[in-house]
Amino acid sequence: MNRRENDLEKCFYPRNLAIVGVSPDKANLGKNIVGNLLAFGYEGEILSIGLRGGVVFGQRIYPSLEDIDHPVDLAVLLTPAKTVPGLLEACGKKGIRNVVIESGGFSERGEDGLPLEKACVEIAEKYHIRFIGPNGIGITNLENGLALPFMPLNRALSLGPVSILAQSGGVGLSYLGFLIEEDIGINKFVSMGNKLNVDENDLLSYLMEDDGTKIILIYLEGFKDGRRFVEIASRSKKPILVHKSNRFKASASIAHSHTAALFTDDQLVDHALEQANCVRVNTMDDAIDYVKILTLPPLKGNRLAVVSRSGGHAVIAADACAHYGFELPPFPKDFLERIESHFRAKVIRLQNPLDLGDLFDLTFYENIVEEMLKRDDVDGVLLGHGYRKGFEQADSRLLIQKVNQLVDRYQKPVAVVIFTEAVEIDYLRRHSKIPIFTAPENAMRAFHLSHRWTSKTGKTPPGKPTVNIQRKRVREILRGAKGRSYLTLVESLELMKACGFPVPEYHLASSPDQAVAAWHSLQRPVALKINHPHISHKTDQGGILLDLNKEDMITEGFVTMKEKIGAGDVEVLVQPMVEKGREVILGGRQDAVFGPVLMFGLGGIFVEALGDVVWRVAPIHQHDARAMITGIRGSRILRGIRGEKPSDLEALEDLLLRLSQLLVDFPVIREIDVNPVKVMTAGEGTMALDARVILSEKPGKE
C-alpha cells in the first residue's frame, strides 16, 4: 500500500478530534456533530471550536485551534467556504494531518468556488494533509462511535458488515435508512463530497484491508481515476457493489472511427466494472437485494431447491432458475412420500420446485428445509411462504426464526420470500437475522450474484501481461506521420505488422498500369484501397473496391476511385482478397477516465449497426481476452455453429493482447480500428486486412 492508501487510519480511528464551527445556537450544525458523537458513544476526546466560545452539551467551546494545548488526530471543518483555506492552514501548522471538510460552497456552486478548492489542495500538499470533502457529511464508524454527519443520525443504526462510500451524502443516508429497515448493520460510512484530496480509490483501498468491513457498497456519480479504480478493485477479496449514476453523457465529438462511433461512457463503465470483478447495480432496490444475499453464507454451487406454499410462485421461481442457469435437482422418492403423508388431499404432484399448497403443518416446513440443506446435491434453498397477519402469524414468525438457525447450522443460504401485509414484512425485517425478499425473481437474481461472486473468489490475480511488439519500429512509423493526426493506410498496416498482426501482402500503385502489374504479380482477385490519411470510412467514400479480377476492372476501378476522391496524386493499395475466415473488429482509444481501453466485436460493414462489442481497460490479461471474445452476443459464430469448425480463438486472443500493449505503450494513438480482421479456423491464424489510426493532436510520451 502506498502512502496515499495507508494514511487514513486516524480518519476512522482518531484518539481525539476537533470540530470547528460549533456554537450553542439552536440551529448550529456543528453542535449536531457533537450530539451524534455523544449519542453513538464515541470513545475519544471531543474538542469543540467556535469563535464565540461558550458551552455545548456541558463541554467547553474553544475559541480557536491554537487554544488546544495538545496534539489532535482529526479536525472536522463546518464553517463558511471562504474560511476553510485559512482553517486548513491552521490545521497544518498545528500538525493535524487528517481533516474532514463538510462545508459547501466550492465547485458544486460553479466556477466561483474553484479558487477556494485550489487553495485547499495547495495547502494540503504543503502540510501533507489528507482531507475528505468538501461538500459532504463526513465519516461514520460504528466500531468506535465516530459519527460526524451534521444532522442527527438515526439511532437505530447498528454495527454490521456493510461499509458505504457515497459521493452524495443524501444518497448515502438513504442507503443507511434502507439497511436499517432490513436490520442489516453498518460498519463504516463515508460521504466523499467533491473528492478533492481523498477519493474513492483511497477509501476503497482502506476498506479492502479493514477487518470490520465484509461488504463494500459504493455510490458514484463519476470516477476520479477509473483506471486506478479497476486496478485496486481487481485485487479485492470482498464483494464490491457499485451504484454508478450519471449514466448517459453523450459524447459531443465527431466519430472519426468505428471505435469512436461505438463508444458509450456507460457501456465502458459496465465492462470495466465487470473486468474489476465488481457488481454494478442500477437501482437502490437492486443494491439492497444484493447486500441481503451477501449477508448469508455463500452459494457455492448452482443447484437449488425451491419450496413454495403457492404453485404459481413455484413456477415463477422455476422460470427465474432457468433464466439464471440454476439447476433444480430431483428429490428422492422416499423423501417426497414422507412429505405427501402430511398432505390433506394428496392432489399435488411433488417435484422440485416443491408445491406445499396442501400442507398446513408449519412445523413440518422446518423439517423439509432441513432435509434439503442436508443434501449434497443442494447448494441453496428458496423458501416461498404466504400468510395473513393474525392468521398463522405466530407460527410463521417462528418458522422464519427456525430457518435462520438452520442457515447457521448448515452454512448454506436460504432466500426467504414472504407474501403478506406490508406491516408484517416490516416486522420480519426488523426482528429476524435472515433477510426477507418479497418476490421470487429478486431472490433468484440475488442468488445469481452470490454464486457469481463465490465462483470468482480465491483466484490469484495475474501478474503483468508480457507481449513483445517491435517498439522501435512503431516509433519510426509514428514519427513519420510528421504532425499529421491520421496515419495513411500503409502506415497503419505497417504499424499492425510491427505490433505482431499478420497482414496480407500488398503493393502500392500510383497509376492504373502499376495497379494492373500488381494484380498480375498476386495472381488472384484483389481489392483496391485508397492510401490517404483523411479517408475515414473507405466504403462510404468510394475509397475501396473489392473482388477485382480483370485488367479492365482494375484500370476502370483506379480511375473511378481517383475521380471520387478528387485528389491530385492518388496512391492505391492493391491487396489480395482473403475469402476465408470470420470478420471481427479490434479497436481502442484513450479515454479521459479509464486511460487506454480496448474494444472487440464482430467486424465488417455492419459493426456500427449491430453494436455488438465488448470493452476492457488495458492492459488486459489472457483471461480478459477470452472473456472479451465470449462476451459478445455473436460469440457462438466464432465457436462454430451448425457443424462449422470453430475459429482460431487462441490467435485472436494474442491479437487482443498485442493491441492492448500498443495502446498502453503509445498513448499518442488516440483511436485505432483494425477492421476487418479475418479469423480462420482453429490452428490457421488470423489476418488483418485494414486499419485506421488517429493520433493525438498533442502527442504525449511514448
pLDDT in tens, 355-388: 776 667 777 888 889 989 999 999 999 999 988 8
The answer on 651 and 559 residing in a single domain is no
143 found inside a domain: no
- pLDDT class for 526, splitting at 50, 70, 90? very high
- How many Cβ atoms are within 10 Å of 15's Cβ, its own excluded? 12
The answer on 426 and 323 residing in a single domain is yes
Residue ending a domain, choose from 561, 576, 591: 576
Where is average pLDDT lowest: 105-109, 337-341, 474-478?
A: 337-341
Tell me how far the alpha carbon of residue 294 is from its chain's centroid: 17
Where is average pLDDT lowest: 48-57, 307-316, 548-557?
A: 307-316
User: What are the E-state strand segments in 377-469?
Assistant: 380-386, 414-419, 436-437
The answer on 437 and 419 residing in a single domain is yes
22 found inside a domain: yes
Which of 482, 533, 526, 485 has the alpha carbon at shortest distance from 691? 533
Measured torsion, CA atoms of residues 281, 282, 284, 288, in degrees rounded to the nearest 10? -30
The angle, 0 to 180 degrees and rounded to 10, between the axes of the packed helices 169-181 and 284-294 is: 50
Cell matching residue 363: 412445523
The answer on 596 and 546 residing in a single domain is no
The answer on 164 and 279 residing in a single domain is yes
The angle, 0 to 180 degrees and rounded to 10, between the axes of the packed helices 622-631 and 265-275 is: 130
- Opening angle at CA 240, ends 239 and 244, nearest 5: 155
465 found inside a domain: no
pLDDT in the model for residue 310:
80
Measured torsion, CA atoms of residues 662, 668, 671, 675, in degrees rounded to the nearest 10? -40
Cell matching residue 339: 412429505
- pLDDT class for 515, splitting at 50, 70, 90? very high
Residue ending a domain, choose from 137, 171, 203: 137
- The percent of residues above 90 in pLDDT, for the chain, comes to 69
pLDDT at 5 over 60: no
Cell matching residue 369: 428445509
Give counts: helices (H), strands (E), the chain: 25, 29
Is residue 115 reached through a cis peptide bond, with omega within 30 degrees of 0 on the bond before it?
A: no
| Residue 190, SS3 per DSSP | strand
Where is average pLDDT lowest: 258-262, 427-431, 495-499, 628-632?
A: 258-262
pLDDT at 405 over 70: yes
Residue ending a domain, choose from 576, 600, 621: 576
Q: State which residues form the domain around 525.
A: 471-576
**At 660, which helix (H) or strand (E)?**
helix 649-665
- pLDDT class for 464, splitting at 50, 70, 90? low
The answer on 238 and 190 residing in a single domain is yes
Domain total in the chain: 5
Q: What CATH number has the domain bearing residue 75?
A: 3.40.50.720
The angle, 0 to 180 degrees and rounded to 10, between the axes of the packed helices 226-233 and 265-275 is: 20
288 found inside a domain: yes
**At 220, which helix (H) or strand (E)?**
strand 215-220
pLDDT at 627 over 80: yes
pLDDT at 655 over 90: yes
Query: How does the average pLDDT of the chain come out, rounded?
Result: 89
The answer on 183 and 120 residing in a single domain is no
545-581 pLDDT, tens digit each: 998 999 999 999 898 888 877 656 788 999 999 989 9
pLDDT in the model for residue 534:
57
Residues facing 614 on adjacent strands:
600
pLDDT in the model for residue 258:
42
pLDDT at 253 over 70: no
Q: Do 686 and 658 form a contact (C-beta atoms < 8 A)?
A: no
- Alpha-carbon distance of 695 to 532, in angstroms, equals 15
Q: What CATH number has the domain bearing residue 653?
A: 3.30.470.20
User: In angstroms, what is the C-alpha Rg of the chain?
Assistant: 32
Cell matching residue 142: 460504528
- Alpha-carbon distance of 91 to 19, in angstroms, equals 12
What burial letters (b/e) apply to 89-108, b meaning 16+ CB within 10 Å? bbbbebebbbbbbbbbebbe
pLDDT at 541 over 60: no
What burial letters (b/e) apply to 35-48, b meaning 16+ CB within 10 Å? bbbeebebebebbb
Mean pLDDT value across residues 295-323: 90
- Alpha-carbon distance of 107 to 94, in angstroms, equals 27
Residue identified by cell 481533516 is 99
- Alpha-carbon distance of 524 to 150, in angstroms, equals 77
The answer on 668 and 546 residing in a single domain is no
The answer on 291 and 159 residing in a single domain is yes
The answer on 499 and 360 residing in a single domain is no
pTM of the model: 0.89
Mean pLDDT value across residues 637-650: 86
pLDDT in the model for residue 570:
81
Cβ contacts of 366 within 8 Å, gap of 6 or more: 399, 402, 403, 406
The pairs formed by 297-300 with CB atoms below 8 angstroms and a separation of 24 or more are: 297/407, 297/411, 297/412, 297/413, 298/413, 298/450, 298/453, 298/454, 298/457, 299/379, 299/380, 299/412, 299/413, 299/447, 299/450, 299/451, 299/454, 300/379, 300/451, 300/454
pLDDT in the model for residue 539:
52
- The percent of residues above 70 in pLDDT, for the chain, comes to 90
Cβ contacts of 566 within 8 Å, gap of 6 or more: none
Mean pLDDT value across residues 181-189: 95
The answer on 182 and 169 residing in a single domain is yes
pLDDT in the model for residue 339:
76
What burial letters (b/e) apply to 621-631, b meaning 16+ CB within 10 Å? beebbbbbbeb
* Beta pairing, strands 380-386 & 414-419: parallel
Q: Do 450 and 325 form a contact (C-beta atoms < 8 A)?
A: no
Residues present in the chain in total: 702
- Alpha-carbon distance of 120 to 77, in angstroms, equals 12
The answer on 58 and 133 residing in a single domain is yes
Q: Do 532 and 568 form a contact (C-beta atoms < 8 A)?
A: no
pLDDT in the model for residue 141:
98
